[in-house]
Amino acid sequence: MPTPFEVQQTANETRLAVRGSLDINTAPALAEEIDRIIAGRPSKVVVDLGSLDLIDSSGVAALVKLYKGVRGMGGAVSITGARDQPLAIFKLLRMDKVFNL
């Protein structure tokens, strides 16, 4: 099964695109990738959720882990493209304020 995310790194930023479902089945693989991203000490991470259809609490936890890890080293995280069910979940959890959605 292909991973539901893709990472691209440039000199200025790390881009993480997540598609499909980010749930209990896919969040562990993303959490491992997040560990690698954080280890690289990026100054800016952009998370694109434009192709994400569904997120559950484990998916939210993975994104919070990314946010805390990058911010803890002085970096910045932004989330773009959240819509439909994922956006509703972020609003329900009041994470839309944290991620400026």
pLDDT value of position 1: 53
User: Which CATH architecture describes the domain 5-98?
Assistant: 2-Layer Sandwich (3.30)
pTM (2 decimals)?
0.90
Alpha-carbon distance of 57 to 23, in angstroms, equals 7
How do the domains of the chain map onto residue ranges? 5-98
Alpha-carbon distance of 58 to 39, in angstroms, equals 21
Going by C-beta distance under 8 Å and a sequence separation of 6 or more, which residues neighbour residue 49? 18, 55, 79, 80, 81, 82, 83, 86
Alpha-carbon distance of 53 to 69, in angstroms, equals 25
pLDDT values of the chain reduced to their tens digit, one per residue, 101 residues: 567 899 999 888 999 999 999 999 999 999 999 999 999 999 999 999 999 999 999 999 999 999 999 999 999 999 999 999 999 999 999 998 888 88
